[in-house]
Amino acid sequence: MDEVKAFVLEETRDKTGAKLGMWLFILSELLLFGGMFILYSAYRYKNPVDFHHASRELEVLLGTFNTIILLTSSLSMAASISALQRGQRRLSMVLLMATMALGLLFLVNKGLEWGTKIEHGIYPNSPILLARAKGEILFYGLYYVMTGLHGLHVLVGICILCGMLIFIAKDRINQMRFVPLENAGLYWHLVDIIWIFLYPLFYLIT
Amino acid sequence: MTSTGAAESIRPRISFYEDHGRYRGILSWILSLDHKRIGLLYFIFVIGFFFSGVVLGFFMRLEMIAPGGTIMKPRTYNSLFTLHGIIMIFLVVIPAIPTIFGNFFLPIQIGARDVAFPRINLLSWWLYISGATIVALSVFTGEGPPDTGWTFYAPYSLRTTVNVPLAVSGVFILGMSSILTGINLVTTTHRLRAPGMTWKRLPLFVWAIYATSWVQILATPVIGITMVLVFLERFFGVGVFDPTKGGDPILYQHMFWIYSHPATYIMILPAMGIVSDVVPVFARKKIFGYMAIALSGMAIAAVGSLVWGHHMFVSGQSDFANLLFSLLTFLVAVPSAIKVFNWVATLHKGSIVLEPPLLFCLSFIFLFSIGGLTGLIQGALAPNMHLHDTYWIPAHFHYIIFGGMGFGLFAAFHYWFPKMFGRMYNRKTAKIAWIIMFVGFNIFYFSMLLLGWEGMPRRYYDYLPQFRPLHLTATFGSWILIAGLIVMFANLFRGLFKGEKAEDNPWDAATLEWQIPSPPPTENFEKIPVIQHGPYDFKEFSRNG
Amino acid sequence: MKTVKYRTYILVWVGLVILTGMTFSFAGMDLGGWTVLIALAIAGTKSGLVLNYFMHLRSERLLIFRVIIPLVMAVFLVFILLTFADLAFRGGVK
């Protein structure tokens, strides 16, 4: 029996191993953002009023809309994998493209938000920002870095999904072999989870 | 019962050196997916960086041989100790054992043909080289290397005009390399163990690397983000650590040490794993308390992640935090002490074979114990007030990092040399090198303990005349130590080319790497073995042949 | 791995949208110190849905998969609590 196991170990691709590796990478990403959440908590604890004031300047509706966009993109991502597992190749690709489109829309909105703030002279080290209360300077510092880092991850995610799309088109990822798509999905959902926390912590401070 | 017709491929029986795969020459090395070649690539560069770190240390000690300026200006001295720290910590001590011996031997010890993700393994090495290059660039470009100490404390690191951004970028890339290595080795240990290789039959070296890899995955991201923030502060003035913008420099220290303390366990755990593997072989006796050693490694990884505040007792931390961190620091000594006890208990009534690997392990136990005990002294709040930022601290950590991890690394060199290279070095010369190093080490670093106790500040270029005798002694000790290092490396280097051919199992050990040829063939095993006994079961092993 | 039904995903999505609506409404109310905790609890629930259903953690059988999220939560908690042991008591224990 052990010899059969040894033989199997030799010849099969290890899907669970690939998935485990991806999850471990996700853990490291969670702690990368976790470090920033520690700083956020510290500075919000020290400057509760300033954080509240600064938060009210953010466009809550746009932020909420962006949250829904990302949640929907997670839906299309998960569905894309299901479709591929059922052999519905075209549907899978359409759903994948929808995910990418939603991600792009998220980034456009983010860009607009940033653009508005920068137009008003509120960006790191700007004279207008530096004239404000310390807590507000910190709020915006954290805002730009955390949403910026998050946005970078969304961008990378879109590129990865583009790669997956090409692989599906070339039949390198298909009903029999879909682990790379699953792993890409895991990454995308991670990006969604980070935003799930960023949203209330920046837009909804009362 | 198994139909092997379709699947039995022909596995080369030539050594992995001769089987160069798709490429020729240097490409067959730097584009290799073979964990053994990648391990050796790390070997070459880690040793190279170690030499450069030693040279920096040599010049530091030369400058400190007398008060005032001796051979350099103060800023140069600051850059020297900064670079010495960055190189030794990020390019040598943190990567060394996991990337050299973890890569080379973990797969073999668990009965696998390679790691779980060979391409990620190669990527890790390229990231290591890239990070090192960026650090090198920080030395030779612009206004020169950082002078902040390897700790890059804010706000000075935000203001000093030297190459801090380059250096912290290098550290970030090196961190990515470390995380990927950790992911690879955890997955390998979970997924690629041979049939019959249960968790309780794993060599303790594997357990040690496993614990280490978890710390790499979970702690490294925090310094990653911290380095990014320093970079962003310098270029965009974000304000997160800058007091003029409301930032708290102590928060920088928290973020920095949340990684950098567990990093010291990334450094020491693999070396402890080596001692746990080597001692039974040279005592001809099963390890005492296998599960205690395996689990104490996991405990060190866990509890060691809770003590970082002990670097900040005098920084302005709250008294409550000071108390908490001091208590936790005392707790983390317990699993380490369990290991020391178990190693000594293994030696007790064993049939001791005094070969070089064992000598290095014995000195590890002695030097690590001194390091650990001095750690307890400085972990207590009242003494820490006096000892912090004195020579006591670098003396303590050199006992642990050099006396502990360094000597553990040298034990690994001498233990696994015949397996990796198929040759044996001159054992007598190795023992002579060892005694020279051991004597030089203690003269050097014990003097530093005394200097610190007397109040000599660290990272100081100049000092009061009363400290002169001990500084002289320390520098003298450093020369003896370096002489020993030269003898050791020359001996190993010579053995590489002129050493006698080694047998497959010169030490008569029972772990899997000794059951395959020296040097190993590319895919390690002709057939994946089915494991039926533990890693130190010498009696069973010799019965089965 | 069993293929998850589209219906399950859509139901999860509906739950996520509802929870988002909830967190949005709670922000309008004045709940003092509880606000952060409620916001975090809702965010935690949303993440739980994404982890378990979209990321299929619910259907994983191996121990390691069940351990990793609690592990990373514990690590993060420890980091933040010990940091606050400093920050919250700078003026001395009151």
Q: Which residues of B touch C64 (CB under 8 A)?
A: 190
Q: Which residue has the higher pLDDT, B429 or C28?
A: B429
> pLDDT confidence of A3, banded at 50, 70, 90?
low
DSSP assignment of B255-322: HHHHHHHHHHHHHHHHHHHHHHHHHHHHHTSPPTTHHHHHHHHHHHHHHGGG-GGGG-TTTT--HHHH
Taking the alpha carbons at both ends of chain B, their separation in whole angstroms is 26
Chain B interface mutation, best of A22, A31, A114, highest count of B Cβ atoms under 10 Å: A31
Taking the alpha carbons at both ends of chain A, their separation in whole angstroms is 63
B314 and B388 in contact (C-beta within 8 Å)? yes
User: In Å, how far is A186's CA from the nearest CA of chain C?
Assistant: 6
pLDDT, tens digit, 9 for 90 and up, residues A92-123: 999 999 999 999 999 999 999 999 999 999 99
Q: Do A144 and B194 touch (CB under 8 A)?
A: no
Nearest CA in chain B to A132: B245
Range 211-230 of B in CB contact (< 8 A) with C: 218, 222
Q: Which residues of C touch B190 (CB under 8 A)?
A: 64
For Cα atoms B530, B531, B533, give the angle at the middle one, nearest 5 degrees: 155
Chain B interface mutation, best of C72, C83, C86, highest count of B Cβ atoms under 10 Å: C86
B480, B449, B451, B476: which is closest to B463 by C-alpha?
B451
DSSP assignment of B188-220: HHHH-PPTT--GGGS-HHHHHHHHHHHHHHHHH
Q: How much is the pLDDT for A1?
A: 56
Task: Give yes or no for B406 touching C (CB within 8 A).
Answer: no
Complete domains list, chain B, with CATH? 3-8+30-541 (1.20.210.10)
pLDDT of C93 over the 70 cut: no
Task: Give yes or no for A31 touching C (CB within 8 A).
Answer: yes
Kindly state the average pLDDT of the residues A55-63: 93
3-state class of B505 per DSSP? Answer: coil
Q: Do C64 and B325 touch (CB under 8 A)?
A: no
Nearest-angstrom CA–CA distance, B536 and B294: 14
Nearest CA in chain A to C4: A82
Q: Which residues of C touch B199 (CB under 8 A)?
A: none
What Rg value do the Cα atoms of chain C yield, rounded? 18
3-state class of A13 per DSSP? Answer: coil
Q: How much is the pLDDT for B11?
A: 55
Helix (H) or strand (E) holding A181: helix A179-203
Nearest-angstrom CA–CA distance, A46 and A138: 11
Q: How much is the pLDDT for B542?
A: 53
Of the CA atoms within 13 Å of residue B44, those in its CB half-sphere come to 9
- Helix axes of B468-498 and B35-63: crossing angle, nearest 10 degrees: 150
Range 59-78 of C in CB contact (< 8 A) with B: 64, 71-72, 75, 78
Nearest-angstrom CA–CA distance, A58 and A43: 18
B206 and B109 in contact (C-beta within 8 Å)? yes
Instruction: Name the one residue in this structure whose structure tokens are 């999850």.
Output: A23
Q: How much is the pLDDT for A165?
A: 97
Kindly state the average pLDDT of the residues A55-60: 92
Amino acid at B56: L
Bond preceding residue B280 cis, omega within 30 of 0: no
Q: Do C72 and A60 touch (CB under 8 A)?
A: no
Q: Any alpha helices (H) in B304-426, and if so which ranges?
A: 319-347, 356-379, 381-387, 392-398, 407-421
The overall longest dimension of chain B from CA atoms, in Å, is: 82
DSSP assignment of A165-177: HHHHHTTSS-SS-
For Cα atoms B411, B416, B418, give the angle at the middle one, nearest 5 degrees: 125
Q: Do A138 and B239 touch (CB under 8 A)?
A: yes
- B39-43 long-range CB contacts below 8 Å, 24 or more apart? B39/B99, B39/B100, B39/B101, B39/B102, B39/B103, B39/B104, B39/B105, B40/B100, B40/B104, B40/B420, B41/B125, B42/B95, B42/B96, B42/B99, B42/B100, B42/B103, B42/B125, B42/B128, B43/B100
Q: How much is the pLDDT for A206?
A: 72
C74 and A29 in contact (C-beta within 8 Å)? no
Q: How much is the pLDDT for B185?
A: 98
Q: Taking phi first (over 0 means left), then psi (-120 to 50 degrees means alpha), and beta for anything else, what does residue B41 get?
A: alpha
b/e map B190-219, b = 16+ CB within 10 Å: bbbbbbebeeebbbbbbbbbbbbbbbbbbb
A13, A12, A156, A185: which is closest to A85 by C-alpha?
A185
Chains in contact with A, counting 3 or more C-beta pairs less than 8 Å apart as contact: B, C
Nearest-angstrom CA–CA distance, A112 and A100: 18
Q: Which residues of B touch A133 (CB under 8 A)?
A: 246
User: In Å, how far is A74's CA from the nearest CA of chain B?
Assistant: 25
Nearest-angstrom CA–CA distance, A67 and A70: 5
* Pick from B190, B316, B321: CB nearest C85: B321
User: In Å, how far is B530's CA from the nearest CA of chain A?
Assistant: 7
Nearest-angstrom CA–CA distance, A34 and B188: 26
Chain B interface mutation, best of A20, A22, A24, highest count of B Cβ atoms under 10 Å: A24
- How many other CB atoms are found less than 10 A from the CB of residue C34? 12
Tokens read off for A18? 């690939």
Nearest CA in chain B to A31: B221
Q: Do B305 and C75 touch (CB under 8 A)?
A: yes
pLDDT of A9 over the 80 cut: no
Q: Do C89 and B218 touch (CB under 8 A)?
A: no
Q: Which residues of A touch B219 (CB under 8 A)?
A: 31
Q: How much is the pLDDT for B2?
A: 36
Task: Give yes or no for C90 touching B (CB within 8 A).
Answer: yes
- Helix axes of A48-56 and A15-46: crossing angle, nearest 10 degrees: 110
Q: Do B2 and A3 touch (CB under 8 A)?
A: yes
Nearest-angstrom CA–CA distance, C69 and A23: 9
Q: Do A206 and C35 touch (CB under 8 A)?
A: yes
Q: CB within 8 A of B476, min separation 6: which ones?
A: B443, B444
Nearest CA in chain B to A36: B225
Q: Which residues of C touch A27 (CB under 8 A)?
A: 68, 71-72
**Mean pLDDT in order along chain B per 10 residues (545 residues):** 40 80 89 96 98 97 94 93 95 97 97 96 98 94 90 93 93 97 98 96 98 97 97 92 93 97 97 98 95 97 96 95 97 96 96 96 97 97 96 98 97 98 97 98 98 96 96 97 98 96 94 95 92 83 48
Q: Which residues of C touch B312 (CB under 8 A)?
A: 86
Q: Do B183 and A21 touch (CB under 8 A)?
A: yes
Name the CA dihedral angle for A32, A34, A35, A41, rounded to a multiple of 10 degrees.
160
Q: Which residues of A touch B246 (CB under 8 A)?
A: 43, 47, 133-135, 137-138
Task: Give yes or no for A102 touching C (CB within 8 A).
Answer: no
Chain A interface mutation, best of B158, B225, B226, B251, highest count of A Cβ atoms under 10 Å: B225
Nearest-angstrom CA–CA distance, B168 and B158: 11
Q: Taking phi first (over 0 means left), then psi (-120 to 50 degrees means alpha), and beta for anything else, what does residue A173 get?
A: beta
Chain B interface mutation, best of A10, A20, A152, highest count of B Cβ atoms under 10 Å: A10
Q: CB within 8 A of A153, min separation 6: which ones?
A: A29, A190, A191, A194
CB-defined contacts B:C, below 8 A: 44
Nearest-angstrom CA–CA distance, B242 and A124: 12
Q: Do C78 and B218 touch (CB under 8 A)?
A: no
Task: Give yes or no for B165 touching C (CB within 8 A).
Answer: no
Residues in chain B, overall count: 545
Q: Which residues of A touch C65 (CB under 8 A)?
A: 20, 23
Nearest-angstrom CA–CA distance, B533 and B527: 17
Chains in contact with B, counting 3 or more C-beta pairs less than 8 Å apart as contact: A, C
Nearest-angstrom CA–CA distance, B265 and B97: 12
Q: How much is the pLDDT for B351?
A: 93
pLDDT of A31 over the 60 cut: yes
Range 98-157 of B in CB contact (< 8 A) with A: 113, 116-117, 120
Q: Which residues of B touch C74 (CB under 8 A)?
A: none
Nearest-angstrom CA–CA distance, B180 and B120: 7
Q: Do A46 and C87 touch (CB under 8 A)?
A: yes
Nearest CA in chain B to A144: B238
Instruction: Name the one residue in this structure whose structure tokens are 């490409």.
Output: B27
Q: Which residues of C touch B308 (CB under 8 A)?
A: 82
Residue B386 Cα distances to A49, B47, B234, B380, B465, angstroms: 40, 36, 34, 11, 20
Q: How much is the pLDDT for B7?
A: 38
Nearest-angstrom CA–CA distance, A96 and A162: 8
Kindly state the average pLDDT of the residues A33-62: 94
User: In Å, how far is B281's CA from the nearest CA of chain C?
Assistant: 32
Residues in chain C, overall count: 94
